[in-house]
């Protein structure tokens, strides 16, 4: 099972097109764009691997780590509009458990237009079409309503709340778990 998934995971495409977006493998040149929106954004600063104050070298480090990470376990797509990087979608794949965890962001001035939903939906579709993984899931801080909505709109269900599960700025917070099984999935980005 694990070995079969490893092979299948390697087939995730490094470029995905949707109606409005191009998703392509993150690259080192994305650091400027990532910094330009991440340094202004409270939520980005609260992500686990981000520090305060968020500096350009944090963006460089983040991009380099995502660029160098093995595609079969940690693929990261930059979200592009008109050749500008406006966000990203990443997966953390646990092939041995046949599942992948999602993370994503869109730059603040372009939010509320369905861009995250469009990008995440396309990645979820590729996971179920191109791999044998059986579950896609995400963890979210419940007050992050926009993120909760993205997960709900792509068809995920709230499965649990992990109480006091994450330390953020020295404070323990709850995390809600959202997930979708292959059996509950219908492709929705392919006619985009």
Q: What SS3 state is found at 1?
A: coil
Residue listed under structure tokens 């396309």: 122
Cβ proximity to ligand COA: between 76 and 117 the closer is 117
Among 17, 22, 39, 43, binds ligand COA (CB under 6 A): 43
Tell whether residue 178 is a contact of ligand COA (CB under 6 A): no
Tell whether residue 105 is a contact of ligand COA (CB under 6 A): yes
Cβ proximity to ligand COA: between 26 and 44 the closer is 44
Lateral strand order in the sheet of 171-181 = 15-17, 22-25, 76-81, 84-94, 99-106, 135-140, 171-181, 157-168
Contact indicator for 35, 59 with CB cutoff of 8 Å: yes
Q: Which stretch binds ligand COA (CB under 6 A): 71-79, 106-114, 128-136, 174-182?
A: 106-114
Q: What SS3 state is found at 132?
A: coil
Tell whether residue 31 is a contact of ligand COA (CB under 6 A): no
CA atoms within 13 A on the CB side of 160: 7
Tell whether residue 149 is a contact of ligand COA (CB under 6 A): yes
Q: Which stretch binds ligand COA (CB under 6 A): 23-31, 74-82, 121-129, 138-146?
A: 138-146
Tell whether residue 123 is a contact of ligand COA (CB under 6 A): no
Among 114, 129, 134, 182, binds ligand COA (CB under 6 A): 114
Supply the DSSP symbol for 71.
T
Q: Which stretch binds ligand COA (CB under 6 A): 6-14, 19-27, 93-101, 111-119?
A: 111-119
User: Residue 129: which residues within 8 A CB-CB, separation 6 or more?
Assistant: 187
Largest CA distance in the chain: 45
Asked if omega into 156 is within 30° of 0 (cis), the reply is no
* Residues at the site binding ligand COA, with contacts judged by CB under 6 A: 43-44, 103-106, 111-117, 140, 144-147, 149-150
């Amino acid at each position: 099972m694990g070995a079969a998934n490893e092979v299948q995971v390697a087939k995730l495409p490094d470029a995905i097109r949707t109606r409005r977006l191009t998703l392509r493998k993150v690259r080192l040149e994305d650091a400027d764009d990532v910094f330009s929106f991440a340094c202004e954004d409270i939520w980005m600063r609260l992500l686990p691997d981000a520090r305060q104050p968020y500096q350009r070298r944090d963006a460089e480090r983040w991009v380099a780590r995502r660029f160098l990470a093995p595609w079969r376990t940690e693929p990261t797509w930059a979200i592009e509009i008109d050749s500008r990087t406006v966000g990203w979608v990443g997966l953390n794949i646990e092939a041995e458990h046949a599942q992948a965890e999602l993370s994503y962001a869109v730059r603040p001035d372009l939010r509320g237009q369905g861009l995250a939903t469009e990008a995440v939906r396309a990645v979820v579709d590729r996971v179920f079409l191109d791999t044998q993984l059986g579950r896609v899931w995400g963890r979210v801080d419940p007050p992050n309503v926009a993120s909760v909505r993205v997960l709900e709109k792509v068809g995920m269900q709230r499965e649990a709340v992990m109480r006091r599960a994450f330390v953020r700025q020295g404070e323990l917070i709850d995390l809600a778990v959202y997930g979708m099984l292959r059996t509950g999935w219908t492709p929705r980005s392919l006619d985009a």
